[in-house]
Copies of this chain bind each other. A is one copy, B any other.
Amino acid sequence: MKSDASTSRPAMDIDLAEMGRRLRALREERGISLSELARRAGIGKATLSGLETGVRNPTLETLWAVTAELAVPITALLPRWGEPTLRGASVQATLLEAFDEESATYELYRLTFPAGTEQTSPPHPPGTTEHLTVFAGTLRAGPVDAPRTLGPGGHLSWRADVPHRYQVVGADDVQASLLMRYPRSSRATDSGVQPSRAPGRSAR
């Protein structure tokens, strides 16, 4: 980052103030004072204070010490899990995991389609397949010429190297997971899902 050389304070993509609020909330839930937490975590009060007020960009070590003492995963302070990232118009996609195997790359997403969503995706690299599982709501999805309708628990796979569509049926939002499989070496040009600016920053 450091995109903007004019601001002395770096244009952080993470909302430090929000992170600070979460941290303070966590601490207060446990009913311990700032001084106490700082002491237990082995960091300076000044550091913790700065962290909670969102004026510091902590070191991994510092963050670790604090979250460890609070017994929460570091992600508890971050934007939101894997941080939802926009994809297409309204669909929210969160990358949960990515695996790189010998012959293919896998990316597991959690998706939310707001009611009314109707989106068509351009083809992905050759050989790419999508494996969709619906948790809640009803979704009509698949290749544009052979879509199927899925209710909660429904599952569908298709080749994603042709145009395909997602269309919410009914008035409820749709919650789903999507496993994308990119055969090795086709992911290269990353023409597809744009795995998402993962953690989710705000452009740059």
Say whether B153 contacts A68, CB under 8 Å: no
Q: Which residue of chain B has the shortest Cβ distance to A195 in the bound complex?
A: B71
Q: Known interface pairs A57-B61, A135-B106, A157-B155. Does A98 touch B72 (Cβ–Cβ under 8 Å)? A: yes
In A166-187, which residues have CB < 8 Å from any B CB? Answer: 175, 177, 179, 181, 187
How many angstroms from the CA of A72 to the CA of B201 in the assembled complex? 11
What residue of chain B has the Cβ atom nearest to residue A77's Cβ? B60
- Number of chain copies forming the complex: 2
Q: Contacts A71-B195, A73-B83, A96-B97 given: A13-B135 contact, CB under 8 Å?
A: no
Interface membership of A10, Cβ < 8 A: yes
Q: Which residue of B lies closest to A12 (CB)?
A: B61
B-chain residues with CB within 8 Å of residue A72 when the two chains form the complex: 95, 98, 198-199
Between A42, A43, A95, the greatest number of chain B beta carbons within 10 A of the residue's beta carbon is seen for A42
Residue of B nearest to A137 (CB): B101
Residues of B within 8 A of A195 (CB): 71
The residue in chain B whose Cβ has the minimal distance to the Cβ of A62 is: B1
Is A126 part of the contact surface with B, judged by Cβ < 8 Å?
no
With both chains docked as a complex, state the minimum distance between the C-beta of A110 and any C-beta of chain B, in angstroms: 6
Cβ of A14 < 8 Å from any Cβ of B? yes
Residues of B contacting A31 with CB < 8 Å?
188
